[in-house]
């Protein structure tokens, strides 16, 4: 794998992790408020906006916010459309860890076959690897250069 691809995805991962830390904080807060409301606690003094909502509506709104936070965690990994990659993101939040763990795969189609760049995180640790098994033998470098070209175009598209 080229240094350009390595650096590109390490930066992308750091950016996504930074955004995720803020969103995980929101997610944790919304889950806590939802649990407290479901348990029958009156939170109208802490959260005056809840006075206007019935318990069922408040819980429904919180479920929507929780789902949105969860979706945002995955969208932080998307690339500009110019990259023409298929992105698959999986994340897990472990109790006691501040940052979610991510497994992200970016699939790039080249004239010589498919190149998949895998990014895994655990805390601040980032592992970037390329799978070129689908690329015709002896053409790996050219396929990786094609991926670099797509990433460069994606950079201009932002």
80 SS3 class = coil
Per-residue pLDDT, averaged over 66-80, amounts to: 92
- Domain assignments of the chain as residue spans, ordered by start: 3-157
Q: Look up the pTM and report it.
A: 0.84
Which residue from 33, 84, 19 is spatially nearest to 62, judged by alpha carbons? 33
Cβ pair 105, 116 in contact under 8 A:
yes
In this structure, the number of other CB atoms found within 10 A of the CB of residue 41 comes to 11
Residue matched to tokens 């802490």: 46
d(CA 150, CA 8): 12
What are the backbone dihedrals phi and psi of residue 135, each rounded to the nearest 5 degrees, phi first? -80, 140
Find out whether 141 and 154 touch, Cβ atoms under 8 Å.
no
Rounded CA gap, 30 and 148, in Å? 40
Separation CA 48–CA 111 (nearest Å): 58
104-149 pLDDT tens trace: 999 999 999 999 999 999 988 999 999 999 998 889 999 999 999 9
For the stretch 1-11, pLDDT in tens is 889 999 999 99
């Amino acid at each position: 794998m080229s240094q350009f691809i390595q650096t590109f995805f390490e930066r992308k991962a750091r950016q996504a992790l930074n955004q995720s830390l803020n969103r995980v904080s929101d997610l944790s807060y919304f889950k806590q408020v939802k649990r407290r409301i479901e348990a029958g606690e009156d939170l109208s003094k802490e959260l005056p906006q809840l006075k206007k909502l019935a318990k069922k509506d408040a819980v429904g709104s919180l479920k929507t916010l929780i789902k949105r936070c969860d979706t945002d965690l995955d969208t932080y990994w998307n690339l500009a459309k110019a990259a023409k990659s298929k992105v698959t993101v999986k994340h897990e939040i472990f109790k006691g860890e501040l940052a979610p763990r991510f497994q992200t795969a970016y699939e790039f189609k080249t004239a010589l076959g498919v190149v998949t760049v895998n990014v895994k995180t655990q805390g601040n640790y980032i592992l970037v690897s390329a799978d070129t098994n689908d690329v015709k033998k002896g053409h790996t470098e050219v396929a990786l250069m094609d991926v670099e070209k797509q990433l460069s175009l994606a950079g201009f598209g932002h």
